[in-house]
Amino acid sequence: MNDRPALDDLPRAQQLAEQALNTLQRFLHVEAVSGAALLVAAAAALIWANSPFAHGYHVFWNLPLTIGVGEQVFSRSLHFWVNDALMTIFFLVVGMEIRREIHEGALSKPDQAILPLIAATGGVIAPALIYLSLNSDPARGQGWAVPTATDIAFAVGVLALLGRSIPVNVRVFLLALAIIDDIIAVLIIAIFYTASLQFSGFAIASVGVLAVLGFQRIGIGSAPLYILPGSLVWLGFMVAGIHPTLAGVVLGLITPARPMPMREQPLEMLSRVLKQLRSSDAVKAGDQHRLGQPLRELRVAHREILPPVSRVQMALHPWVAYVVMPIFALANAGVSLTGTDLSAAGHLVMLGTMVALVAGKPLGIVGATWVAVRLGWCRLAPGVSWGGVCLVGLLAGIGFTMSIFIAMLAFSDEGLLKAAKLGVLLGSLIAATLGLGWGVIYVRRR
């Protein structure tokens, strides 16, 4: 017998609220929506930065935000807290995606990972060479890595707009390639855009990492308890001279990919506790003392059904897609078109970035894939045609979030940084348009 009341038996207000929440949950899990949210935030930043209120845009993001206890005060601009602190959550999810894919996904078997690895490598080398061919000057050449990155959320969001006619393996190929692209981008940031290192910072970060591993070892499964040791890793990276957001990648990579060892399997524990509650009168009596232990067991069993790497990633994904990345876009995509110097050096930076994203990414990905298949190193997955590879190559030209992030590390000159951002925005927009156009043709041909 099912004691759960039917929807019609609930109060009208509760019915409407439940339907609205269910609709919102389905809406938030549509991948195209997260890409649209990112696009809206970028458009809002551009409009704001080129409106009569443009001065307010820069004043707002330079407002100081201070934290501290007593005389120990840490004060930075709002822009810093977005780019160096909030984006750590983005990189944490990136690290968890890498960890999960290596454990059980497209990167878990060498024969599955080799083709996207080769394609991603080509998709990094070709844009870098195209950019450097137009920007051989050392000051401008610092931005060679800007067009090498792919924005996973934006690219997958555009692919989702093409509907279910796109073969599953094409989407898997794009995801695997973009994740490898992120790994390469993280390595580039760590190697080429890191200043002189302070070893005292590594000691602080090591304490944080050891604390995280120790918590895992003794079976602490509550995610909020890891905030303090995770903050130590972030602080250590900043003191060491490494960009602190990379602490998120490290924490993501050491997140367990298997559930915490338990005396009893989670589903068996759930079944036992529910049976115990049904046969007990504690629920009807509302006896808090007798219900305390069963409710704790229910929470633990519910938590441990999924491994931590999947559970935390699922919990953070909506926040990253609809809060972290849009705020980052709003804080960094506000390029003043009237104040950007495109007379000489800036023009070449913008042009090099844009051409490298639009042309370099597909040329590198399709070319490297063709060579690998032609030489017999690997073969295309079932359902993946050369038209699908071209589609992946075009969509990989959407750099956006990661490209803007690298641009801010590459250029200290404000004029060159604005030019690079403009190149990223234009290149990503053109790549998305070309990807959509080719995707429509590709779907019709199939």
Locate the domains of the chain by residue range.
Answer: 33-194+243-259+306-445, 266-301
State the pLDDT confidence band at 410, using cuts at 50, 70 and 90.
Answer: very high
pLDDT digits (tens, 9 = 90+) for 180-234: 888 898 889 888 887 777 888 999 999 999 999 999 998 888 888 999 999 999 9
Mean pLDDT comparison of 177-186, 264-273, 292-301, 360-369, highest-scoring range: 360-369
pTM of the entire structure? 0.81
Lowest mean pLDDT segment, chosen from 53-67, 106-120, 428-442: 106-120
Q: Is the separation of the CB atoms in 421 and 354 below 8 Å?
A: no
Q: Per-residue pLDDT tens for 14-26?
A: 666 666 666 656 6
Computed over every residue of the chain, the mean pLDDT equals 85
- Own/partner contacts of 23-29, CB < 8 Å, gap of 24 or more, are 28/318, 28/321, 28/322
Per-residue pLDDT tens over the stretch 366-380:
999 999 999 988 888
Give pLDDT, residue 289.
72
Please check the confidence at residue 336 and state whether its pLDDT lies above 70. Answer: yes
**Average confidence (pLDDT) over 314-333:** 89
For the cut 90, the answer to whether the pLDDT of residue 120 exceeds it is yes
pLDDT digits (tens, 9 = 90+) for 68-77: 777 778 888 9
Full DSSP string of 102-158: HHHSTTSSHHHHHHHHHHHHHHHHHHHHHHHHH--SHHHHGGGGGGG---HHHHHHH
Helices 246-253 and 87-104 cross at an angle (nearest 10°) of 30
Partner residues linked to 75 by β-bridges: 66
Q: What is the Cα–Cα distance from 158 to 33, expressed in whole angstroms?
A: 9
Q: Give residue 389's pLDDT band: very low, low, confident or very high (50, 70, 90).
A: very high
Q: Is pLDDT of 41 > 80? A: yes
Band (340; pLDDT cuts 50, 70, 90): low
3-class state of residue 77 by DSSP: strand
CATH number given to 33-194+243-259+306-445: 1.20.1530.10
Task: Assess whether pLDDT exceeds 50 at residue 93.
Answer: yes
